[in-house]
Copies of this chain bind each other. A is one copy, B any other.
Amino acid sequence: MIRKLLVKNVVLKGNSCDILINGNIIEKIESTINEDNAEIFDGQGMVVMPGFVNAHTHAAMTLTRGVCEDTPLQPWLQNVWAIEAKMDGDAIYWGTKLAIVEMLKSGTTNFNDMYWFIPRAYQAAEEMGIRATYTYVLLNGFDKAKAEAQKKECLDILDQSRSWNQRVKYGIAIHADYTVDEDTMVWGAELARKEGLILHTHIAETSTETFSEVEKSGLTPVQHYDKLGVLGDNVIAAHCVWLNEDDIAILGKHHVNVVHNVNSNLKLSSGYKFKYDELIAAGANVCLGTDGASSSNNLDMRESAKTMALLQKAWRNDPATMHLDDVMAVLSKNGSKALGVNAGEIAVGKLADIIFIDTDTEAFVPNYNFESNFIYAANSSCIKHVMVDGKFVMKDRHVDGEEEIRAKAREISSKLINA
């Protein structure tokens, strides 16, 4: 028999209500629901919101948090790469678990990952109850043998993924067009299209990368992807900081999902004039991501959304831009759409990925505008419970096993950093 859960006395968009969840689906939302055969959870006046979708991260990079600060990009990259080279499946498993604890505590219920040792990373999400997409990284540095070996591994994991828990999806990643040969890019794009998978990639993150491509080939990165025919509404393109008008039109035409990774872009000085309005107007779907903790330091989507909104208002010199409705959409709805998941809003028929907010703190006094208080005044410690797929995965700010995860991650990262 499918389990029913009746959530009582929560606040949804300003109104008190009850929510009936049937298995992993929201079945009913009414001011008062009575249901005999349901387990009851009293929400005690907490505000409910859809969980956040982190549309671009490298989860296990939590193990490299804070290892190289206040340095130029090249030494930073060398440092991070040297640590990554030492990571094994165990490191990925515990590093991903650490990331999942952190994501749940800041309201993220679904994330799009691009990293290594996918079967071990999968195990972390499977065990912890979060929703995720793990994308296999095609990154061959134009080495033919490497390209072939990766294609084979990519297909092997695709086979394994057919028996995965439905919460977790497999996808394909093209690292970037300056690290992967064109044949492999096309191979990855065709595979993703045929299998109905996400195609995840980095595009136009830095000016150096973007303009050196233009100099070499006469094409911008976006024009290059377009020429190869890899763009489509299954593509999730991280960064896209350096776009010209034609690039924006191309991304819009193909309804590409563009992920702004604001804190990472600021910290690494990659660029800050992200073209939110223009991308939306052109037809792209704009999402938000944290990138890896090596550059963003944390995986806090609420905090990223605040920075994104403040920065849009500042660089455009317009306090009326980046309305709170857009901020909320970027946090949940747009990312769910990008990942092809039937969530991102609390509505009948949607997956029950729900976060519960305690408003009895100073940040919510006065509570004239809840969204404003949540984004601009609070921090993520106001998120008290988190539900994914109809099940509580964080209660009273505690995630099962978090103490062991911190201990293991400390032990492993200490070996990686000091070895």
Distance of A83 from chain B, by nearest CB (Å): 10
Interface segment among A66-74, A120-128, A152-160, A387-395: the answer is: A66-74
> Interface readout for A344-367 with B: 1 if CB under 8 Å, 0 if not?
000000000000000011110111
Task: Using known A-B contacts A102-B362, A266-B311, A363-B298, determine if residue A377 contacts B72 with beta carbons closer than 8 Å.
Answer: no
Is B376 a contact partner of A310 (Cβ separation < 8 A)?
A: no
Interface segment among A25-33, A167-175, A231-239, A317-325: the answer is: A317-325
Q: Is A191 an interface residue when CB atoms closer than 8 A count as contact?
A: no
Number of copies: 2
Distance of A404 from chain B, by nearest CB (Å): 12
> Interface readout for A397-419 with B: 1 if CB under 8 Å, 0 if not?
00000100010011001100100
Interface segment among A12-20, A267-275, A329-337: the answer is: A267-275
Distance of A208 from chain B, by nearest CB (Å): 11
Set of chain B residues within 8 Å of A366, measured between Cβ atoms = 63, 65-67, 409-410, 413-414, 417
Total count of chain A residues near the partner, CB < 8 A: 67
Set of chain B residues within 8 Å of A324, measured between Cβ atoms = 69-70
Q: Is A297 an interface residue when CB atoms closer than 8 A count as contact?
A: yes
Is A266 a contact partner of B314 (Cβ separation < 8 A)?
A: yes
- For the complex, give the distance between the alpha carbons of A372 and B65 in Å: 9
Task: Using known A-B contacts A268-B319, A319-B71, A320-B70, determine if residue A98 contacts B307 with beta carbons closer than 8 Å.
Answer: no
Which among B67, B272, B320, B381 is the interface contact of A71 at CB below 8 angstroms? B320
Closest chain B residue to A67, Cβ basis: B368
Is A377 a contact partner of B293 (Cβ separation < 8 A)?
A: yes
Q: Is A217 an interface residue when CB atoms closer than 8 A count as contact?
A: no
Task: Using known A-B contacts A366-B409, A366-B414, A410-B365, determine if residue A372 contacts B318 with beta carbons closer than 8 Å.
Answer: no
- For the complex, give the distance between the alpha carbons of A369 and B367 in Å: 37
Is A98 a contact partner of B365 (Cβ separation < 8 A)?
A: yes
Is B369 a contact partner of A319 (Cβ separation < 8 A)?
A: no
- For the complex, give the distance between the alpha carbons of A93 and B266 in Å: 39
Is A267 a contact partner of B379 (Cβ separation < 8 A)?
A: no
> Interface readout for A57-80 with B: 1 if CB under 8 Å, 0 if not?
000001101110111110010000
Set of chain B residues within 8 Å of A73, measured between Cβ atoms = 319
Is A69 a contact partner of B298 (Cβ separation < 8 A)?
A: no
Task: Using known A-B contacts A297-B372, A379-B379, determine if residue A265 contacts B314 with beta carbons closer than 8 Å.
Answer: yes
A-B contact pairs, 27 of them (CB 8 A): A63-B366, A65-B368, A65-B372, A66-B367, A66-B369, A69-B324, A69-B369, A69-B372, A70-B321, A70-B322, A71-B319, A72-B319, A72-B320, A263-B310, A268-B313, A269-B319, A298-B376, A298-B378, A300-B379, A303-B379, A307-B307, A362-B402, A365-B409, A366-B409, A366-B410, A368-B413, A381-B381
